[in-house]
A and B are shown apart, each in its own frame.
Chain A
Amino acid sequence: MNTLPDPHAPQRFTLSSLAAKWLGPATEACVAPLLLLVALYLPFAYFVLPEASALHLSLFGINLIGQIMCFALLALALDLVWGYAGILSLGHGVFFGIGGYLMAIYLLNGAYEQTHVLPDFMQYMGASEFPPLWKALSRLDVTVLATIVASAAVAAVFGFVTFRSRINGVYLSIITQALTYALMLLLFINDVGLGGNNGMTGFTQLAGHPVAGATTQIGLAVASCVLLVAAYVGVRYLTRSALGRALIAVRDDEARMRFLGYRTHTLKLLAWCLSAVLAALAGMLYVPQVGIVNPTIVSPQLSVEIAVWVAIGGRGTLLGAIFGAILVNGIKFWLTAELPAVWPFILAGVTLLIVVCFNNGVWGTFKAAAGRERQP
């Protein structure tokens, strides 16, 4: 009897053989062009394809895609600090919110310019004129700049204090969670002047275009795709550089890095501030697409969910974070419409299943399996 394995026998079908066949550097290189293709497809699907066509997309669908792209950018931002620098932020909503609220102020500037009617919440507060300070954000380019500066500054102050004091791990996570909760409570207060728990809405124009118009909404969705791709390419370059390896080293053994002469808090601060800016830009694009901003944008729930998207996709892989955000939010939009009551149970179930079965996340597990298969 011949007990040697037959070299001509068909290869056994396994997860890793499948992964090795389909997942490689070539597949990864396809993702960015694919997302750009989606960006090109959106206006084509709405304006060119007839409504009867199966490939036609409604404005509602395009809007959802745009929102999901913003969430994917948010997840990418978190993966940079969690997956590479080892900082699990459960408060990235703070930066998302900074971008969202500043964008809302800009949009209300535009609305007031057109209608000369004060936003409802200002009238309710008894204001008689548009706040002069708000007029600083009457231009889009200034608003973008202000968002970048504000998010980086908040991140720098918070990061400097905590990283220098060597606050790590769960302690840091708890502080970030408390931070976003505190900000939410603050924003709930009417006297803060940012709309209280009703938030801010009634946007009419964005850079001269009607905010709810098809061109504007499609433009925003396309911009979200393009920014996601640009951020992915940039972050990927950074994480694959020597600086990215230094971040990984800080994640795995921060003390050792100090004894090698590294100012580890500076390294963490760099990643942290960059991540904050990306999250804030995501918030800026998100708010005009949903047409409202209110304190739930900085709720602890959203911030924890971001970590769930990254964990499901696989942290420290960048593409995993994007994949996880798209997957979870795609299912969420579908199921909250069909079966709103069961959605939380499904999310919890899927999260548990993935933590148990794929402890590197879906993308991370496949990637690791592909790597093993290629290098036996």
Chain B
Amino acid sequence: MNATPAARTAIYISGLSVTFSGFAAITNLSMEFRYGEIRAIIGPNGAGKTTLMDVITGKTRPAAGDVFLNKETNLAALDETAIARLGIGRKFQKPSVFEALRVRENLELAIRNGRGYADMVRSRLSERRHARVDEVLDTIGLAAEGARVAGTLSHGQKQWLEIGMLLVADPQVILLDEPVAGMTDHETGRTAELIAGLRSPERAVIVIEHDMDFVGEIADLVSVLHEGKLLGEGSMQSVRANPEVIRVYLGR
């Protein structure tokens, strides 16, 4: 485990409940995500994993409970845009890159972060940001594809581009929803390297994934959700040995 118990808390969740017209998606959930760690969230379908990401990123409002960034900013009171500007980046389950735009243009949109309309009209990008886009293109392995229209990329390349769109803005918290779904083994391996490269003492990475080998490879800590509650938390080995987890999820 890389994360030490003394690491600062990035996201602090306490007493969180989310309901959708009577159905309780998350019930009284409390957990913490710390800087420097890569955390995996696993659990059966309908466990509330994506709903948890929706709450952190402002897409869904909680019925009760608190979600704090750095123990000071209450995210439950902010909208998606404000939360994104605080440095919380999210990758969706289905690749959502802008297919009509070029690869490089996708990254340039992301690095601007919705600020500076005057610079956008003049299509001006600072030297530093230009270099950063180049750097990220290199990191995600698409340096040669910068001028390609994003819609023509392969599924795996689109997923990497979307991770690049988060990375380029240097977020403090990165949320990845099933980053390797639908990837070949080779692509999965490269994605694992890419995610390992996201680790930084200044950053918390949270990954939802069903691929247990992939989870074991990247995660420092695994949290298991079941029916909107935290079933267990610990290293991959300890979670795999937990009889409750085996019963509801890993099974067989």
Contact = CB atoms under 8 A, between A and B. Distances in A.
A256 to B, nearest CB: 5
Contact of B101 (A245, A259, A260, A263): A245
A113 interface: no
Interface size on A, as a range, is 20 to 34
B113 A253 contact: no
Interface stretch (A173-181, A185-193, A235-243): A235-243
Interface in B93-126: 96, 98-101, 105, 108-110, 112-115, 117, 119-125
A264 B117 CA distance: 12
Given A245-B109, A246-B120, A259-B90, A252 B81 contact: no
A135 interface: no
A263 B81 contact: yes
Contacts of B59: 255
A248 B151 CA distance: 14
A171 interface: no
Contact of A261 (B100, B124, B125, B169): B169
A256 B100 contact: no
Interface string B144-183: 0000000000000000000001000100000000000000
A356 to B, nearest CB: 23
A259 B112 contact: no
B101 A238 contact: no
10 contacts: A240-B123, A242-B105, A242-B121, A243-B117, A252-B98, A255-B80, A256-B98, A258-B84, A259-B80, A264-B81
Interface in B46-69: 57, 59
A243 B84 contact: no
Contacts of B79: 258
A270 interface: yes
Contacts of A241: 120-123
Contacts, number: 75
Contacts of A242: 105, 108-109, 112, 119-121, 123-125
Nearest to B122: A241
A253 B169 contact: no
A261 B99 contact: no
B84 A248 contact: no
Contacts of A257: 109, 114
Contact of A249 (B57, B90, B98): B98
Contact of B113 (A255, A256, A261): A261
A60 B49 CA distance: 69
A262 interface: yes
Contacts of B119: 242
B130 interface: no
B214 interface: no
B71 interface: no
B169 A270 contact: no
Instruction: Please list the 4 inter-chain residue pairs (A to B) with the smallest Cβ-Cβ separation, ordered nearest first.
Output: A262-B114, A261-B84, A261-B114, A243-B120
A260 B114 contact: yes
A237 to B, nearest CB: 8
Nearest to B101: A245
Given A249-B101, A260-B114, A261-B169, 5 more contacts: A241-B123, A245-B105, A252-B100, A253-B96, A256-B92
A253 B158 CA distance: 15
Contacts of A261: 81, 84-85, 113-115, 169
Contacts of A270: 117
Contacts of B114: 257, 260-263
Interface in B30-58: 57
Contacts of B108: 242, 245
B89 to A, nearest CB: 8
Most chain-A CB neighbours within 10 Å: which of B57, B92, B100, B115? B100
A234 to B, nearest CB: 11
A114 B84 CA distance: 61
